[in-house]
Amino acid sequence: MTFSQFSSRLRRLSNYLFACFLGSILTFNPIHGLSAQASPIDNSGAPPAAKIPAPSSSFVTAAVNRVGPAVVRIDTERTISRRVDPFFDDPLFRDFFGDRLVPQVPQQERLRGQGSGFIIDKSGILLTNAHVVDNADKVTVILKDGRTFPGKVRGVDEVTDLAVVKIAESKDLPIAPLGDSDTVQVGDWAIAVGNPLGLDNTVTLGIVSTLKRSSAAVGIPDKRLDFIQTDAAINPGNSGGPLVNERGEVIGINTAIRAGAMGIGFAIPIDKAKTISAQLVKGQKVAHPYLGVQMISLTPELAAENNSDPNSPLQVPEIEGVLVVQVLPKSPAAEAGFRRGDVIVQIDGRSVTTAEQLQNLVENSQLGSVLKIEVQRGDRTSTLSVRPGEMKEVS
């Protein structure tokens, strides 16, 4: 290849490279220019960005604000006596040893307790649990706003665990609105307000777990109640405080927690408390009719299982009803002729299938009235007439 040919090719290569370089500049400059033009944004004329509104108060806040001021703390004091072992009080012991070996135990001791309650009337009437003020010598009521009043127990009904306490009347006493527990349904909101574990003004939230949970099923057979069950946390000190619905109305009185249970609490329906408290305010005793039998609900399957056991103490009819397990001596049932193994199937013509149903029918009967109770005894049916007695007569 001659020198002239080499020079010619070199010029063509140079021209090609220059053309590529020029093309790249023409290609990228417009993009760069558009990018530069899009960068600055003039917001001087734009309206300010709208602020996100703060969330409104929840229904729990509204409910607690409505009922909370009427919820009180109840401090109690009571005196208990301690007995010294009679051995140490023996004169011979004291003559021989003197007083040096006699234990210096105080004969009396002051015990302090705490619970909750809520005011229901401007006259200073408040509700709480009977076990909160049980045998209290001194009752002190502390309002949420810090005011303190001496309290006087007007009435106690241990069977329903209800008590009425009176404080001084004041025009500006906050009042808790009372709801209707008969309209409560499973799944409704439940708000527990009180002073658990000494922590004043505490609120917990849950739902109504079930209704008409009998006191026997809860494990307190000496009471006569059908509880509202809730998973709202109820702890010691909550007793006597209100269980509230989403509108801030009292639907129950927090009263018990089941030992060993997690997240299960119980409240007395407020409709029951309304009836009982009206009598307690007047200083009246609440009558609770009773028959004097220990009983369990019976089904054909349970009866068949019992009868198939060769060690069973008795054979029972394989029917549905209420099995009498024991008859208390000198009770109305004993006087009417009830026997262990009887199966109650009717009361005044109404079929009875569970112990809870029988207890409610007796509770709602009148003292002095006569109940016609049909029982199955072996293969015979009998009708027994029984006049319910008053439960206070039972030890």
State the catalytic residues. Answer: 131, 161, 239
Q: Pick the closest to residue 240 from 68, 120, 73, 121 (CA basis).
A: 73
DSSP 3-state assignment of 354?
coil
Report the C-alpha gap between 99 and 197 in whole angstroms. 41
* DSSP character at residue 178: B
* CB-based contact 320:354 (threshold 8 Å): no
Count the helices and strands in the chain (H runs, E runs): 9, 20
CA dihedral 132, 136, 142, 147 (to 10 degrees): 160
Q: Do the strands 226-230 and 250-257 form a parallel or antiparallel pair, or are they unpaired?
A: unpaired
Can you list the alpha helix ranges (DSSP code H) found in 39-175? 59-67, 86-89, 91-97
Q: How far apart are the first and last CA of the chain?
A: 134
Beta carbons within 8 Å of 293's beta carbon, 6+ residues apart: 324, 325, 326, 327, 328, 331, 333, 338
> Token pair of 356, please?
């809870």
52 contacts: CB under 8 Å, gap ≥ 6:
none
Which amino acid does the sequence have at 189? W
What's the Cα-to-Cα distance from 174 to each of 39, 57, 163, 171, 336, rounded to whole Å? 63, 22, 19, 9, 51
CB 359 within 8 A of CB 293: no
Residue with tokens 């004291």: 94
Amino acid making up residue 247: R
